[in-house]
Structure 1
Amino acid sequence: MSAISVVGAGPSGLAVALMLARQGRDIVVFERFDQAGPVGAGFMLQPTGLAVLDALGLTAAVEAMAQPIDHIFGREARRGRVVLDVRYGDLKRPRLALGVHRAALFDVLFRACLDAGVRFETGREMRAADAGRLTDAAGVATPAFDLVIDASGARSRIAAGLGAAPRPLAWGALWATVPWPGEPFDPRALQQVYRGASKMVGVLPVGARPDGPDRLATFFWSLRTEDHAACREAGLDRWKAEVRTLWPETAGLLDSLADPEQLTLARYGHHTLARPVADRLAVIGDAAHSTSPQLGQGVNMGLLDAWTLAEALAAHPDLSDALTAYAAARRAHVRLYQALSLVFTPFYQADGRVLPWIRDHLLGKAARLPLSPRLLAATVSGLLLDPRPRRPA
């Protein structure tokens, strides 16, 4: 088996393409945009995702542009009560996360793919896969590949053919990339402020883009997606006033937002494929399992999928055995974090008073019990049922 196609040039698709090209396979990546590039907000690379980059020898290149994160901090707006304080130093084997601009990770993975001989075909949106053949939006079919890997994201038409039907979540987020605001913001923390569970604003330091030295942050504001139109109609100034009321220190940061088009609405859905493989087909990343970003696992889970699939293909000459091994190896970890996200998201994105009261009074106190800090750090780091690679690629 040597000819493999990958659908989607996001982190998962680039990572699996690189791994398989390094195994000596002929890899072509199909990307729906006319030019492959990063899409989306900044994010956190957790110890799980970093372990994959370690195995690829790419961690140092990403670190050079990223921002180390040593804790996640959240407080209630009115009384200032701390309701979330997760520290990576509490891990059994401490390791910092990284705040990363998507362009930085894309640049490192894309360049490595080119160096490894991966080929790219852009401007082709693939909508179906059958017996190794892909069909694009224009109805044009590709030659047959030994294997198709779908890494095309949560709205994948290919994964839909396996039963993926993401349930739209009521809550999303407005996000923007802004210059790093400096003090009083902590450059080593994801900081969040809440009013109940219906209002949340956050600032994540994400380092720099590959095309400039300026340090940046991802700014996000939680809202119901159905309220987005009304928010835009009310105007940017009114929205800024609401944000400043919730978190006055954001005033300087908000000055960099002069146009509503600087804010992007992120919509989320929840689904988990019962079996992310079929005849000559493997599904990885958000195409296989998508959810709310509250636990910050999306990119990291995709990198783990990519690593596990590449390892299974290297270990099992028979394709059916390899795909079965991949699905089995990822099943428990994926389902655990999908369930955790489904359970915990309403405590941070919901209407009403009951859930935020439980979060602030009961869960907050439980988090201070012995061993709880380590458990919380392991949960946020993606290390429950530790799935990290054990040996280099």
Structure 2
Amino acid sequence: MTAALQIAVVGCGVAGQAAATLLADAGHAVTVFERFAEPRPIGAGLLLQPTGLAVLRALGLADQAMARGARVDGLEGRTHRGRAVLELAYADLHPKAHGLGILRSVLFELLHQRLHRSSARLLVGSEIVDVVRQGATASVMAANGETHVPFDLVVVADGAHSALRQRLMPAARAPLYPWGCVWTTVPDLAGIGTGRLLRQRVRGTTEMMGLLPVGDGQLTMYWSVPVDQLAPGRPIDLAAWRRTAAALWPEAARIVDHAAAADAFSRATYRHVALPRWHDGPVVFIGDAAHGTSPQLGQGANLGLLDAHALASAIGETGELTSALALFGRRRDGPVRFYRQASHLLTPFFQSHSGALGLLRDAFMGMSCHLPGMRGLMGSTLAGTRRGWLSSVALDDDGRYRLDG
């Protein structure tokens, strides 16, 4: 087992808080650096998969999350004409399997309370702008000029738009996706969440709306938007959006009307992040800072939670840090590569200016969901259990994902 380490975690999001808590629980001295004076969640409701739920279970948070979120049994995607393009059910993997729709703010609160119950130290209002290696250790430098030393390991978990990634690993690729979304959370005025499905409606590849049950009779609504229309300060034409969205999904018209009247939309952009390696000496990247993707596969938070668990497990199993980081990288390489590639391949079929891709999706994707081999691949992709294009992890007898590092 690795001796107790001095560890810095940069970022107080899902991956950062989970990693800090698991490492602190293992006996390491952990300091979390958060740039905001009041840590807060950024983003909409999200879908926790059996993988992410397994990590919450390891943190003792799964029951609380289930009580405050909404069980999701599958994914349904249809065109504006009602043609199925996605029909997937967790029960195809195991009768007891399911996902969980949950507000990001609720997940953040649960993780934040758990972090405070650990021995980790949280420094807020401390924006880390550089990490300087000093042999086998590293120091972190804050924007206010303060330097914090020494750390045996620095865990960078500052999100898809990470400034530290650009500085510390310039060979990383992180182009902005050409499409983002606006989102809001609204009451389920049409009973859409009662079917316990994440539902989507599409018209071609330029119109996409999603409704995710997130608990307490609420839905998080997503609307696909080209990124050039998401510039800060650029107004949303709510009247035009209302007409377009209601025409796309007439059954959700009351929800659309409520969302337009409330005018509480937030904006989100995404990056396709690929690192040449997971770590550089005593600096390791996790979460969206390491492998941000579009949200089309719904895996971002789940991959970040798995990163956190795999890192803490690898450090606990080995005799020294270099071996631990190598083990962590080996365990995470296959799954992350698969989801990064799958997301990059799938996204243009739902968000692009290619009419041909929309026609191909409408003609073949719904049918593919019912082909035995493809249904298994697509179902395990949804559930987050893929380890690569040719392998996945079977769920246990209770329909749960088994963490093994």
Out of 31, 48, 53, the residue aligned to residue 50 of structure 1 is: 53
Corresponding residue of 1:245: 247
Aligned residues: 385
Q: Deviations over 1:121-177 (max 9, x none)?
A: 111111211222111223322121121111110111222211334111111111112
Counterpart of 1:34, as a letter, is: A
Classify 1:234/1:166 alpha carbon distance in 2 versus 1 (closer, same or farther; 3 Å): closer
Q: Deviations over 1:66-120 (max 9, x none)?
A: 100001101110x211111111111156410000101211121111111112211
Map residues 287-326 of structure 1 onto 2, 5 A cutoff. 287-326=289-328
Corresponding residue of 2:159: 153
Counterpart of 2:169, as a letter, is: L
Classify 1:230/1:148 alpha carbon distance in 2 versus 1 (closer, same or farther; 3 Å): closer
Q: Give TM-score scaled by structure 2 length.
A: 0.90
Question: Is there any run of 5+ residues in structure 1 with no aligned partner, and where?
Answer: 208-213
Map residues 150-299 of structure 1 onto 2, 5 A cutoff. 150-160=156-166, 161-163=168-170, 164-207=172-215, 214-228=216-230, 233=235, 235-257=237-259, 262-299=264-301
Query: Deviation at 1:250?
Result: 2.4
Check if 1:73 corresponds to 2:81: no
Question: Is there any run of 5+ residues in structure 2 with no aligned partner, and where?
Answer: 394-400
Classify 1:233/1:63 alpha carbon distance in 2 versus 1 (closer, same or farther; 3 Å): closer
Corresponding residue of 1:328: 330
Check if 1:38 corresponds to 2:41: yes
Counterpart of 1:155, as a letter, is: H
Check if 1:10 corresponds to 2:13: yes
Residue 15 of structure 2 aligns to a residue whose secondary structure is: helix
Q: Distance in 2 between matches of 1:253 and 1:227?
A: 23
Residue 271 of structure 1 aligns to a residue whose secondary structure is: coil
Q: Give TM-score scaled by structure 1 length.
A: 0.93
Q: Distance in 1 between matches of 2:285 and 2:34?
A: 15
Do the aligned partners of 2:181 and 2:222 also contact (CA within 8 Å) in 1?
A: yes
Query: Deviation at 1:372?
Result: 2.9
Q: Distance in 2 between matches of 1:69 and 1:185?
A: 9
Check if 1:140 corresponds to 2:146: yes
Q: Deviations over 1:173-217 (max 9, x none)?
A: 11112223342454511111100011001110111xxxxxx4321
Residue 354 of structure 1 aligns to a residue whose secondary structure is: helix
Q: Distance in 1 between matches of 2:347 and 2:194?
A: 24
Instruction: Quote the RMSD (CA, aligned, Å).
Output: 2.0
Q: Distance in 1 between matches of 2:231 and 2:6?
A: 46
Check if 1:361 corresponds to 2:368: no
Out of 343, 346, 349, the residue aligned to residue 345 of structure 2 is: 343
Residue identity over aligned pairs, in percent, reads 38
Q: Distance in 2 between matches of 1:44 and 1:80?
A: 24
Q: Distance in 2 between matches of 1:114 and 1:80?
A: 48
Residue 258 of structure 2 aligns to a residue whose secondary structure is: coil
Q: Distance in 2 between matches of 1:231 and 1:13?
A: 30
Residue 259 of structure 2 aligns to a residue whose secondary structure is: coil
Q: Distance in 1 between matches of 2:362 and 2:110?
A: 40
Query: Deviation at 1:55?
Result: 2.1
Residue 107 of structure 1 aligns to a residue whose secondary structure is: helix
User: Mean alpha-carbon deviation: is it higher for 256-265 or for 294-303?
Assistant: 256-265
Q: Distance in 2 between matches of 1:339 and 1:297?
A: 12
Counterpart of 1:139, as a letter, is: G
Corresponding residue of 2:397: none
Counterpart of 1:148, as a letter, is: V
